[in-house]
Amino acid sequence: MTISIETPLLYSQPLSALNRCHVWLKMESSQPSGSFKLRSAGHACQHYAEQGAKGFVSSSGGNAGIAVAYSGRKLNLPVTVVVPETTSARARQLIEQQGAKLIVHGKIWAEANELALAMASEEIVYIHPFDNPLLWDGISELVDEVVAQQVKPDAVLLSVGGGSLLSGVAQGLEKHGLAQTPIYAAETFGTGSLNAAIKADRLVRLEKLSGIATTLAASQVCENAFNVSKKHDVRSHLVTDEEAVAACKAFLNDHRTLVEPACGAALALLYGQKATFKPDDNLLVIVCGGASVTYEDLLK
């Protein structure tokens, strides 16, 4: 059994015309849990279930918790998800909808994570939202699917929060001999932990996180993501909250798909034409999704 699904790979005529290249959308928003996190959480949960796990505990700002909850339900194993106070009411509802026990603890994710770690045991396995090689293994499979459809990306565009998506995509590119492919990594100004690390040439813990893209709000990107930025051609970009939200609205109009501002950060690079590509370039955009966003959220 595979918990995540193969997602559509769509050619975007509007974004291709706007950016004068070939834009391909990997629609991770189509995952049953609503985001790419099901690839990572599903892969990890299935691995630990096969090793004898009797349940899972996780911490999350939203999407990872929903994905672990979904995975536990599919595996018929109990799940507890600890979220900080910043997690939206909608995300909390979706976690409980999957049958998981929800605990709200702490003002930031790090505080919620401490409680989740304390609740883990030999039988109740802790699932990190972004920092575990099993997570990256699961995410890397989306590159397998793209290559299987005969699309060879000349560049990849994605959003960065804790760094699991960057880690998994880089691993997938390496697997297919595409390690030299540039990766455009987007964050908002209020959540730019990777950007800060690249500028400082070391891991940096942000003192304050702010803005609308709460699911990008990891105060420090995982070490592997920073190592990827050193080893690969990773091009860091920051966008404003307003640009991220505007990109979500434009994407909804263009592709009839609602995504959260965290995903909008990457799309803002295209709608704002913040990078230049060659006419023959195939640009792969990871539409990471976002389960808890509503249209009303974008109007606030």
In this structure, the answer to whether residues 158 and 273 fall within a common structural domain is: yes
- Give the closest residue to 117 by CA, choosing from 77, 76, 162, 82: 82
| Residue at a domain's end among 109, 127, 145 | 127
**Would you say residue 113 lies in a domain?**
yes
Average pLDDT over residues 31-40: 97
**Would you say residue 3 lies in a domain?**
no
Q: What is the pLDDT of residue 61?
A: 82
In this structure, the answer to whether residues 81 and 195 fall within a common structural domain is: no
Q: Per-residue confidence at 191, pLDDT binned at 50, 70, 90?
A: very high
Q: What is the pLDDT of residue 209?
A: 85
Structural domain including 199 reads 9-35+133-299
Q: What is the pLDDT of residue 214?
A: 80
Average pLDDT over residues 179-190: 97
**Would you say residue 4 lies in a domain?**
no
Q: Per-residue confidence at 174, pLDDT binned at 50, 70, 90?
A: very high
- Neighbouring C-alpha atoms within 13 Å toward the C-beta of 248: 28
**Would you say residue 1 lies in a domain?**
no
Is the predicted pLDDT of residue 37 greater than 90, yes or no?
yes
Residue-averaged pLDDT of the chain: 96
In this structure, the answer to whether residues 66 and 181 fall within a common structural domain is: no
| Residue at a domain's end among 88, 111, 127 | 127
Residue 189: C-alpha distances to residues 5, 85, 156 (Å): 32, 21, 21
**Residues above pLDDT 70, as percent of the chain:** 100
pTM of the model: 0.96
